[in-house]
Amino acid sequence: MLEEILQKIDNEQDLNKEDLVFLLGLKRREDLEALYHRADLYRKKYAGEEVHLRGLIEFSNYCRKNCCYCGIRRDNVKARRYRMPNEEILSTVTLAEKLGYRTVVLQSGEDMYFTADRLVDLIKRIKQQSDVAITLSIGERPREEYERFFKAGADRTLIRFETSNRVLYQKLHPDSDYDERMTQLKWQKEIGFQVGSGIMIGLPGQTMEDLAGDILKFKELELDMVGVGPYICHQDTPLKGNDNGTVEMTFKVIALTRIVTRYAHIPATTALATLRQADGRERALQLGANVVMPNVTPVEYRSAYELYPAKVCIYEDAEKCHGCIHGRIFSIDRPVSKGYGHSVWPG
């Protein structure tokens, strides 16, 4: 069966759910290497050699939602809450630009202090002062608001659907709705955004069939970016005591996401680097990924933006992260992109 599926990959034929479930179950090192090698070839062919850097600014950790896995969920009273003032967000964007990042990712909890007016103002000021693409990772908002953000100059959105198993989705999201999440993704694309989404690997109760369904969903949605990271258990959440997702399963899903979606930008995520500090990101970049998101959040806030514990890079400042990431990318002999890193989907 393995030979047959690998042949399909070599012939660039589509994989079906059964193929994906089989590949997700691979265990032998040489089988995995055969898969990863092919994912790397697809990455080279469809996404190119360059690694795109996106400077991540975690500008607020207030959140109105209570996602069961997340360390900054509303009911976690232990989280030290912060909001970066506008001026500080703007100076952080300037720093990101100075470090050569051509995209900034503005990420936060669902913080309604940042009204549409405030965000529009922020987006416009960033576009006036800096030559960067803007990705919004701020959760769900009404369509009219996203329309205003797009008009103001925002280029991309990032909103993971977390799992395509709707029963599991509802269990983990007491105050969100699976269909609403999917609908937001659809109209974000209609508005004109380059849309990113993704999932966590190893959510309690998640099966390999679910993961295969997630990968097919990435393709169906024609996502411009797909972020795949391991779930990491946070003790101050209702999911405390659960196991973390594994690095190997994350690698497999990244590789298959590359093979199935071909053109999607795929980041080597921070959560992956957290579980495998030595070379998690480098390995991911060698089996399908082509993006890294170095943190540029001012150090004083980093430890408070604790989606999951023991996150890497919380004591390093933006310059250190810049040096570290560049070193890692050079060590695997890949060039860093100087462009915005827009979507590479044809047409």
Residues that bind ligand SF4 (CB under 6 A): 63, 65, 67, 70, 72-73, 109-110, 139
Instruction: Show contacts with ligand SAH in window 230-259 (CB under 6 A).
Output: 231-232, 234
At 319, is the secondary structure helix, strand, or coil? Answer: helix
Residue 159 site contact among ligand SF4, ligand SAH, none (CB < 5 to 8 Å, cut-off depends on kind): ligand SAH
Task: Answer with the entry of ligand SAH, ligand SF4, none that 73 interacts with (C-beta below 5 to 8 A by kind).
Answer: ligand SF4
Residue 59 binding target from ligand SF4, ligand SAH, none, CB below 5 to 8 Å by type: none
Residue 23 carries which side chain, given as an amino acid letter?
A: L
* 162 interacts with ligand SAH by CB under 6 A: yes
Segment interacting with ligand SAH (CB under 6 A) among 20-28, 43-51, 117-125, 229-237: 229-237
Q: Which does 162 bind (CB under 5 to 8 A by kind): ligand SF4, ligand SAH, none?
A: ligand SAH
- 202 near ligand SAH, judged by CB under 6 A: no
63 or 284: CB nearest ligand SF4:
63
Of the CA atoms within 13 Å of residue 150, those in its CB half-sphere come to: 18
Q: List the beta strands (DSSP E) in the chain.
A: 52-53, 55-60, 103-108, 133-137, 156-158, 194-201, 225-230, 267-268, 291-292
d(CA 203, CA 160): 14
> 215, 275, 209, 198: which is closest to 244 by C-alpha?
275
- Decide which of ligand SF4, ligand SAH, none touches 223; Cβ closer than 5 to 8 Å per partner kind: none
Per-residue DSSP letters for 126-191? HHHH---EEEEE-----HHHHHHHHHHT--EEE---B-S-HHHHHHH-TT--HHHHHHHHHHHHHH
172 contact, one of ligand SF4, ligand SAH, none, CB 5-8 Å limit per kind:
none
Pick 267 or 288: Cβ nearer ligand SF4: 267
Contact present, 132 and 103 (Cβ < 8 Å) = yes
User: Under rule CB under 6 A, which residues in 83-112 are in contact with ligand SAH?
Assistant: 107, 109-110
Q: Under DSSP, is residue 248 helix (H, G, I), strand (E, B) or coil?
A: helix
> Residues 291 to 320: which contact ligand SAH by CB under 6 A?
307-308
Residue 72 or residue 329: which is nearer to ligand SF4 going by CB?
72
Nearer to ligand SF4, 252 or 311 (CB): 311
**122 is a site residue for ligand SAH (CB under 6 A):** no
* CA gap 281, 274 in Å, rounded: 10
Nearer to ligand SAH, 37 or 118 (CB): 118
